[in-house]
A and B are shown apart, each in its own frame.
Chain A
Amino acid sequence: MSDIKDVNPAEDGARGLSRRQFMGGIGALGALGVIGGAVAQVFLLPDEVIAYPVSGGFLLVDQKKCSGCSTCMAACAIAHHGAANHSLSRIQITQNPFKAFPYDIDPVQCWQCDECVQACPTGAMHVDPETGVRTVDQLRCIGCLRCVAACPRAVSAVQWSEEGHASQKCDLCLDTPYMDDEGGIDGRRACESVCPMRAIKFTTDLPEQTEDGYSPNLRTENWASFGYVADIEG
């Protein structure tokens, strides 16, 4: 059985450099270039050091004050999505009746740390340059969920949005298309405004950090007005 080869002279180099040789050359050069670039990136370039500025504001939630009414979740979903759908809320209230007070209700608000920003491979999760708030550019999000996994909270403060096909998180109401008032550091936060227990408070001071993040004491005059014992001294 004889092999019948292509007989086009341009392919076999009857007139100088053949197409086949040209392709081989392009392929070999390109492959060497890519491998060289990858090696250079690993061995020659120094590790990049990135420092993120501290957020301009934080949400404090007093676990002992929270009654688990989920009003904040409804307000958050309405402010950001125009729908009172708890699945769309960026603040999560989880409840476990088998746990003892105050751990039976766990309000999960974003701590504005930078774990999610560090984990994002595309820069979609970023620090807002003006306010320092950690937020998502949903157009850039590729949906890898690394931010969700990186969140230090047991229930992630970053969620996957089925609506936006991208991650979403608390932006301190920087971007609230369904809220009349201005949000953000100098504006109004929907969850803080509606909390009937006044268990959510906004601060521009960096909260005292503990192993468990921060759990502030908001049981002051407002708390007393409900007839509960205030814990002004903490």
Chain B
Amino acid sequence: MKKGVLPVLGLTLALGLGSLWAVQATRSEGGGLLFDSAWWLVFLAPFLGVLAAGLTRRQDPRIEGDRVLRHDGAARLEHWAHGLGTALLLATGVGLGFLFVPRLVRDTDGVWLMMNLHFVGVVVFLFGTFYYAANTIVSAYRFKEHLPTGNAFSFTVQHYGKLLGIKKFTMPPEDKYFESEKMAYILAILASVGVILSGIVKVLAHLMDLPAWLVSAATPVHGVSTIAMLLFFVAHVFFSSVLPMSWPVLRSMFTGYVPREYAEKEHAGWYQRLSASESTTTGKEA
């Protein structure tokens, strides 16, 4: 088994065990909400993410023969923890209903199962998100390379127009992330912050007597953030997994590597930087 897939396997295992726990808690005598009995895990998960970031030694992208390391183990772990957690949260959130979405589960057992699975999603999501956030604070340049440039909007329109075949445009040499991805990144951050802050209020309501206005404000904020997250998620999955041109990057989210040829063609700016850095390193070593 390749070492690169370990983060994905570990997370899948964690989600599987968590889901079994959710089912067991729902079926137990008298039923139970994990948000009530295991609330502390919701607050532990972010700190575990920060701790993990403190213990992680990141690897920078580099060219290795005919392939390029794009996503090190930490990047894959934080991506899949955030992504799989989000997927579970969205699925169970839609099942529970919010804003204009009617509730799909009708009986109490169904609602508790959805809520307990939502709990598992919250823990995994928070771990992944805080692991990413702390890693980003440790290495601020990883945050900067995600931020859009002044041309981001026009480049995004051109990029998606080109992808959909309705525009002809020669893109300037792209960096590690497309300008369009950088725009989506802003939406993902805003949606995550909204979901987390309003979600914390909703969990705290299980523990202490909060003012009604605060709880009542958290619910619509959670719903609006969920809609933003849903839009981002659907677009992200489509452009990163469904379109054939993105498949090499999707593969690198499991293995860590993209083909050198792909990096050279699609991320020319990034590849040039890596090449320059490589020759500098080689020069120093020589």
Contact = CB atoms under 8 A, between A and B. Distances in A.
A154 interface: no
B115 A144 contact: yes
The binding surface of chain B is classed by DSSP as helix
A137 B50 CA distance: 37
B102 to A, nearest CB: 6
Contact of B54 (A5, A20, A146, A148): A20
B46, B54, B115, B281: which has the most chain A beta carbons within 10 Å? B54
Contacts of B115: 144
Given A8-B139, A27-B48, A139-B215, A146 B33 contact: yes
Contacts of A160: 103
A86 B221 CA distance: 32
B138 A11 contact: yes
Given A8-B139, A31-B47, A140 B205 contact: yes
Nearest to B138: A19
Interface stretch (B59-67, B78-86, B225-233, B258-266): B59-67
B108 to A, nearest CB: 4
B5 to A, nearest CB: 18
A69 interface: no
Contacts of B33: 121, 144, 146
A12 to B, nearest CB: 9
B203 to A, nearest CB: 10
A27, A35, A140: which has the most chain B beta carbons within 10 Å? A27
Interface string B1-45: 000000000000000000000000000000101011000100110
Contacts of A22: 54
Contacts of A1: 64
A31 B160 CA distance: 43
Nearest to A123: B209
A50 interface: no
Given A4-B59, A121-B33, A122-B215, A142 B138 contact: no
Contacts of B40: 34-35, 37-38
Interface in A1-59: 1, 3-6, 8, 11, 19-31, 33-35, 37-38
A144 B103 contact: no
Contacts, number: 120
Contacts of B48: 27, 31
A197 interface: no
B212 interface: yes
Nearest to A1: B64
Interface string A166-194: 00000000000000000000000000000
Contact of A23 (B43, B53, B98, B108): B53
A4 B51 contact: no
A24, A33, A38: which has the most chain B beta carbons within 10 Å? A24
A149 B97 contact: no
Contacts of A33: 47
B159 interface: no
B254 interface: no
Contacts of A123: 205, 209
A5 B57 contact: yes
9 contacts: A24-B50, A24-B55, A35-B40, A121-B35, A139-B215, A139-B216, A144-B111, A160-B103, A165-B98
Interface of B: 31, 33, 35-36, 40, 43-44, 46-60, 62, 64, 96-98, 102-103, 108, 111-112, 115, 134, 137-139, 141, 202, 205-206, 209, 212-213, 215-216, 219, 281
Given A4-B62, A11-B139, A24-B50, 9 more contacts: A5-B59, A8-B139, A23-B50, A23-B51, A28-B54, A137-B212, A140-B205, A143-B96, A145-B112
- The 6 A-B pairs at the shortest CB distance, nearest first, are namely A24-B54, A27-B51, A30-B47, A27-B50, A139-B216, A38-B40
